[in-house]
Structure 1
């Protein structure tokens, strides 16, 4: 899956040309190729919750999770943290991943009342709550 929210700075400010002969330039092996594979083959299969999708009731999940920017970013962060925990030498790394990362994100992701996928229409016609409103900062005098 191509990142629907690419980091434009990576293209604008490349730090150097990759050199496959340099061990630091070789991408580390990962269990999952990308966040879509992580969510489809692991996360959605391992997380077992009763979801309702009735507005404001219970837990909410949109099968089109990738359409919600916050959901995409949180699941991408969970995938990256998972990959780090898998290769960690610390035997408790995966336990910490579950308690610290997964549990905390699930409370937000699946919140059927105010979460980023709450009030999802079954027909897919609704695409999120939209970004938080922001006003410009006032100019400082002086």
Structure 2
């Protein structure tokens, strides 16, 4: 699927623009992209101690494909749920932020080996896979 160098994300960018809303108009985003969302909202809001071995974070989170995908999902969910004035933010925290951040910060998660002091370290190898028998998914 992606041909990534062994130690970094290769700046693959999705093609196309924002999906159209129900009225045919592109949704109005609060944050223009995932990087701004992480820098201006998530990092200052989701404060956790990174001392010890219980949580791991990579300052260069954008060099990890899994982190990009999870953080993009968090940003998109936040953009959608922020418009729900009743329980949107509660749903975002419970169903999106807490599970994704637990996976990202896990000692054996995508940032394993990285750290605030060590910075980015080469990422782990992809999961080994074998091709399915021909016609199984046709």
TM over 0.5: yes
Query: What is the TM-score of this pair, normalised by structure 1?
Result: 0.75
Judged with a 3 Å threshold, the aligned counterparts in structure 2 of structure 1 residues 39 and 136 are, in CA distance, closer, same or farther, namely same
State the superposition RMSD in angstroms: 2.5
Ranges in structure 2 where 5+ consecutive residues have no aligned partner: 1-9
Correspondences of 1:11-30 after superposition (within 5 Å): 24=24, 26-30=25-29
Q: Report the counterpart of residue 14 of structure 1 in structure 2.
A: none
1:6 maps to 2:13: yes
1:97 maps to 2:96: no
C-alpha displacement at 1:58, in angstroms?
1.4
C-alpha displacement at 1:131, in angstroms?
1.7
Q: Report the counterpart of residue 34 of structure 2 in structure 1.
A: 35
Q: Which has the higher contact order (CA 8 A, sep 6+)?
A: 2
1:131 maps to 2:131: no
Would the aligned equivalents of 2:59 and 2:119 in 1 still touch at CA under 8 Å? no
Alpha-carbon distance in 2 for matches of 1:71, 1:83: 18
Ranges in structure 1 where 5+ consecutive residues have no aligned partner: 12-17
Query: What is the TM-score of this pair, normalised by structure 2?
Result: 0.77
Judged with a 3 Å threshold, the aligned counterparts in structure 2 of structure 1 residues 123 and 99 are, in CA distance, closer, same or farther, namely closer
Q: Report the counterpart of residue 117 of structure 1 in structure 2.
A: 111
SS at match of 2:56: coil
Would the aligned equivalents of 1:70 and 1:116 in 2 still touch at CA under 8 Å? yes
State the Cα deviation string for residues 43-75 of structure 1 (Å, max 9, x = none).
Answer: 0000111113x6xx2100000000000001000
More helix by share: 1
